[in-house]
Amino acid sequence: MINSDIKNQDSSMKIGIAADHGGFELKQFLSGKLRESGYEVIDFGNKVLNPDDDFPDYVVPLAQAIIKKDVHRGIAVCGSGVGACIIANKLPGIRACLINEKFSAHQGVEDDDMNMICLGGRVIDYSLAWELASVFLNAKFIDVERHVRRLEKVRQLEK
């Protein structure tokens, strides 16, 4: 059962969102659902449907905003979600994953402090995308020694 009534637990949470042409329609849908749920949504584009655009032009500014803490978390959408995930993880401090099921949407935050979810606009339907985004945004990092230790190993690789 999909709970479409999930409400933002932190009304001050700014969420960044970005998509190319392959994820544009899903981005528009998710932006509306996020606003309805009380999130402040920062749209990094594309703001118009352009079949010739490139996902890095929108995902990189979103990732930079996460790093600078201008937004709390991010949602990136391209056709499959793969390209958005690849480019996002090139930036130190970004922990982005392509998510297609609910367990990883929360476990990635709880254990790995995932800060960006990548979705495929051409491979998942709107209701699943909303469920995954909601689970991701409502998950909290579990700040235990083993998780912190692993994150530090990631940070060392990023240097």
Going by DSSP bridges, is the β-strand pair 40-43/96-98 parallel, antiparallel, or unpaired? Answer: unpaired
DSSP string, 62-81: HHHHHHTTSSSEEEEEESSS
User: Catalytic annotation on 78?
Assistant: yes
Annotated catalytic residue within 78, 85, 97, 118: 78
CA 153, distance to chain mean position in Å, is 22
CB burial class (10 A; 0-12, 13-18, 19+) of residue 67? middle
What is the crossing angle of helices 24-36 and 126-138, to 10°? 50
Instruction: Please answer whether residues 66 and 116 qualify as being in contact, where contact means their C-beta atoms are separated by less than 8 angstroms.
Output: yes
Catalytic residues: 78
